[in-house]
Amino acid sequence: GANSPIVKSLIEAAEQKKQVAVLVELKARFDEENNIYWARELEKAGVHVVYGLVGLKTHAKMTLVVKRESDGVKRYVHLSTGNYNTSTAKLYTDFGLFTCNEEICSDVSEIFNFLTGYSEKKKFNKLIVAPINTREKILSLIEREIRHAKKGQAARIIFKLNSLVDPTSIAALYEASTSGVKIDLIVRGICCLVPQIPGLSENIRVTSIVGRFLEHSRVYYFLNNGEEEIYLSSADLMQRNLDRRVEVTFPVENAKLKSLIKTSLLNTAIEDTEKSRILLPNGRYVNSVRVFNQDKINTQENLMNFVINQAKKIQKKEKFIVRKKF
């Protein structure tokens, strides 16, 4: 954005003799002019600025901090489905993961080395990276659900994304449906998959949430016979994301966080009665209709209330700690 506090902090860090490297995507939609300006300001401050790989747009959102602590050097990583943009952060719904998991931190380090030309590593511990292996990995996870369904085991897929266009991914979802996998797709924008067609997609339901905020998070859920897996991503299932962009898909492994995403976001979005539209086989959308005894469910309001309540709990806890200390 035009007034980015993150960039200002990076400049301040460089001025305090910290080693700072930043990848600036000059082809960022709506932000080209701002990014050119900030790239020049970063370079003036002594920041190592790179502009990505030729032929690929960098769409991943990553931050790596390496810090010397009393017990040695430690790495911290933030990964996000949304941009580091102060304007869109107020308008879009997104998820971020802050972690010091060594394998994830190592992967992010390797990706930065890859983007700055210091590494050609194409295998990662935890992260799924486009254009290297994202389509392949998503297809393998869908195939695993198909195998579970054919064995009579618990199988389900829930995807929340902005657009579903990639023909190979759509074909895999059709196959999963015909194999008995129940599939819920929460697609805010373009969806080229046709749901509820007998013999092809009768097990697929497609909805779209259009509310106060722009739905922007990408979430990939696999039931995996009870061993649930959830991935957050910067990538939609489109050819441009899978083949022509640098994207990062990352796992959520903490059981509490997985449960939070499943119940507070995915299940709520599927059951939304206020801002949800249902895609019909003819390509038309109809508003979700609440039956007379059904509770009102508004995904975005529920999430806002949840965050407000969590913030109040944190504030209360912090006040208690301060009182106890003094």
Q: Catalytic amino acids? A: 59
State the amino acid at position 113 in one-letter form. N
> CA separation (Å) from 178 to 39, 126, 244?
50, 30, 31
- Cα radius of gyration (the chain): 21
Tokens matching residue 296: 């009102």
Provide long-range contacts, Cβ within 8 A and 24+ apart, for 111-118: 111/60, 111/62, 111/246, 111/248, 112/21, 112/23, 112/62, 112/64, 115/23, 115/50, 115/52, 115/53, 115/58, 115/246, 116/21, 116/23, 116/48, 116/50, 117/50
Secondary structure (3-state) at 164 = strand
70 forms beta bridges with none
Provide long-range contacts, Cβ within 8 A and 24+ apart, for 222-229: 222/141, 222/144, 222/145, 222/156, 222/157, 223/145, 223/148, 223/154, 223/155, 223/156, 223/157, 224/144, 224/145, 224/148, 224/155, 225/148, 225/153, 225/154, 225/155, 226/154, 228/258, 228/262, 229/141
Token pair 């209360």 is at which residue? 316
State the amino acid at position 324 in one-letter form. K
Secondary structure (3-state) at 160 = strand
DSSP letter for each residue of 253-292: --HHHHHHIIIIIIIHHHH-SSSEEEE-TTS-EEE----T
